[in-house]
């Protein structure tokens, strides 16, 4: 057996059992790739791709469903500054630049020098006919502080892969239902849940 990818099948790279080789292969397809840990996820959203693309492309919208994002400052049409919650009340920050964009279909980004969490990735919007749009997110990142950081982050639901999973579900809820589901009974509970 080699490092695995030579016997490749048709499955998405992020589902490969050969994590390092898969991350490297994805990095090869991303301009300015940053990060060595790969995660990806697909979700089908019952809305036209143009609507989803437009909402996502306006980065100031993203904190409405990205739980961990404290704020995103839009600096120019391709550059933004991200402030993201980290475990133990800390925050991590980086500048992201759009490296590729196909209207209605694809946005790729990469973090710039000095990022606390070097990362890059792409989001694709593929027309799925009567089912709406398949949204596929692929992210490469370096976990906050090595492996230990990843374990701790996981406990706090701040691990980027877990976070991406929740964010995509909330994005789907917002786009399909106009709101984000909560089981809270009172406003005070809802606020506690959101912190």
Partner 1 sequence: MRALTWHGKHDVRVDTVDDPEILNPRDAIIKITSTAICGSDLHLYDGYIPTMQAGDILGHEFMGEVVEVGAKSTLQKGQRVVVPFTIACGSCYHCGKHQYSACDNGLPADNQDIGQEMYGQPMSGLFGYSHLTGGYAGGQAEYVRVPFSDVGPIIIPDGVEDEKVLFLSDILPTGWMAAENADIEPGDTVAVWGCGPVGLFAVQSAFLMGAERVIAIDHFPHRLELAKKFGAETINFEETATYEALLQMTGGIGPDAVIDAVGLEAHGFFVDNVIDQIKASTFLGTDRIHSIRQAIIACRKGGRVSMPAVYGGFVDKFPLGAFMEKGLTLKTGQTHVQHYMPALLNAIMENKIDTTFLISHTLGLEDAPQGYKMFHDNQNEVTKVVLKPGLALAAE
Given the rule CB under 8 A, which residues bind partner 1?
Answer: 44, 46, 131-132, 157, 165-167, 169-170, 172-173, 176-188, 190
The nearer residue to partner 1, 120 or 163, going by C-beta atoms, is 163
Which DSSP category does 13 fall into? Answer: G
Closest approach, Cβ 194 to partner 1, in A, equals 11
Closest approach, Cβ 184 to partner 1, in A, equals 6
Closest approach, Cβ 132 to partner 1, in A, equals 7
Strand pairing partners for 40? Answer: 138
The nearer residue to partner 1, 150 or 169, going by C-beta atoms, is 169
DSSP of 89-129? T-EEEEEEEEEEEETTTEEEEEE-TT-SS-EEEEEEEEE-G
The nearer residue to partner 1, 34 or 172, going by C-beta atoms, is 172
Q: How many CA atoms lie within 13 A of 32 on its CB side?
A: 16
Closest approach, Cβ 24 to partner 1, in A, equals 28
Closest approach, Cβ 10 to partner 1, in A, equals 21
The nearer residue to partner 1, 29 or 184, going by C-beta atoms, is 184
The nearer residue to partner 1, 79 or 165, going by C-beta atoms, is 165
The values of phi and psi at residue 94, to 5°, are -165, 160
For residue 22, give both structure tokens.
Answer: 């898969």
The nearer residue to partner 1, 26 or 86, going by C-beta atoms, is 86
For the chain, helix (H) and strand (E) counts, in that order, are 5, 7
Do residues 146 and 36 touch, judged by C-beta distance below 8 A? no
Q: Which residue has the tokens 């969490």?
A: 117
Closest approach, Cβ 145 to partner 1, in A, equals 24
Q: How many CA atoms lie within 13 A of 186 on its CB side?
A: 3
């Amino acid at each position: 057996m080699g490092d695995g990818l030579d016997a490749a099948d048709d499955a998405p790279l992020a589902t490969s059992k050969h994590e390092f080789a898969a991350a490297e292969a994805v990095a090869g397809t991303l301009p300015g790739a940053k990060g060595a840990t790969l995660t990806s996820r697909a979700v089908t959203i019952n809305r036209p791709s143009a609507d989803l693309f437009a909402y996502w492309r306006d980065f100031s919208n993203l904190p409405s469903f990205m739980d961990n994002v404290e704020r995103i400052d839009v600096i120019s049409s391709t550059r933004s500054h991200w402030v993201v919650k980290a475990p133990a009340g800390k925050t991590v920050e980086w500048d992201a630049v759009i490296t590729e964009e196909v209207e209605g279909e694809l946005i790729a980004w990469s973090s710039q020098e000095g990022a606390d969490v070097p990362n890059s990735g792409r989001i694709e919007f593929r027309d799925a006919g009567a089912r709406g749009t398949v949204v596929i997110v692929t992210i490469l990142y370096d976990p906050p502080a090595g492996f230990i950081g990843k374990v701790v982050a996981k406990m706090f639901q701040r691990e980027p892969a877990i976070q991406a999973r929740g964010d995509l579900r909330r994005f789907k809820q917002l786009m399909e239902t106009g709101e984000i589901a909560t089981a809270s009974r009172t406003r005070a509970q809802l606020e506690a849940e959101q912190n």
